[in-house]
Amino acid sequence: MSAFSYGWGTSNDPHEPFWVRFDACKHSPTTWKEEIYAAARTIANDAGARPLWLCSSGGIDSEVMCDAFFNQGINFSVLTLRQTNDTNVHDIKYAIEWCRSHGVKQKMVELDMESLLKDDVYRYAEEGYLAGGPFRYLQIRMLEIVETMGGYAVLGGGEQLYHVDPQKEKPTMDDAYLDFDVGYSVPLEWCRRNDTSHEPYFYFHTPEVCLAYLQTPLVAFTLEHSEAFLHPNNKYLLKRFVYQSVFPTLENRLKFDGFEEFRPLRKHTRQTLLNMYGSLIQSCKLPVIEMRQQLQGNHR
């Protein structure tokens, strides 16, 4: 599975500090495009006899992931969750069109988002999966569906979104970090507890994919001018520019996460989870420089 490990302190006690650490690369990465192609081939081998199901919401992360598998000639099907009353119709139209134009089988599964936010989230929470928001539980739902079908799920997670302290007047590359909240562990913990394997973080599948992304000219340049991340939307803008520079036919689209039609309920659910877990909801702010050192194998 993913090229990072996680835990809590030294005793794996959730009351200890949450940490994330990346594996070292086994070889010097080539281009990001070639490394995501290599990751697709590796995942296909890892799946063995299980059919591959790529979970696509219609966002650019999903589409680039599907392109990677398709361009490598790997056989797969697409799973898309369609919310009751078509509240995510804007998103999934891109997934529907991609599958239609590429001749890829797509399975649509109905999702009652209101029921997920009112009931299922708390069921997962009571089972001990720590997350401060409902999205990580939605990842579990997709894994459950694919596991029931006897398949191997691949989710387009693992995007590198950079942050800096907004109070810092002139941040430098030393100030840039990735924010890993404890919820990152949820889909991986679900796999561990159910003695199964899937890939919820395609863009973190290998250390080479991670380092190749850091080394793309656009990312390297922007990190050298980290004041750009003082505006929170620029982290998404950078990602779109990088993806479109590698896949020029990628169509612009508004960014959605599937919860837009349920903002009040989502806010209530998130606050309830925070009240339930309290101080257990932690995050690990991993400096980009330290992440690069880990990937290069020279972390001390």
Residues 6 or more apart in contact with residue 264 via CB below 8 angstroms? none
In the block, tokens 């109070």 appear at 167
State residue 45's pLDDT score. 97
- Report pTM: 0.94
Report residues of the chain scoring pLDDT below 70.
257, 299-300
As a whole number of angstroms, the distance between CA 204 and CA 187 comes to: 14
Query: Residue 25's domain is classified under what CATH number?
Result: 3.40.50
Look at residues 234, 255, 241 and name the one whose alpha carbon lies nearest to residue 59.
255
Q: Measuring CA to CA, how many Å separate 287 from each of 37, 200, 291?
A: 27, 22, 6
Per-residue DSSP letters for 192-243?
HHTT---BSBGGGSSHHHHHHHHTSHHHHHHHHTGGGGGSTTHHHHHHHHHH
Report the pLDDT value the prediction gives residue 284, as an integer from 0 to 100. Answer: 96
* In contact, 265 and 164? CB cutoff 8 Å: no
Please report the pLDDT score of residue 300 as a whole number: 43
* The total number of structural domains that make up the chain: 1
Q: Which amino acid does the sequence have at 298?
A: N
Domain region containing 245: 4-296
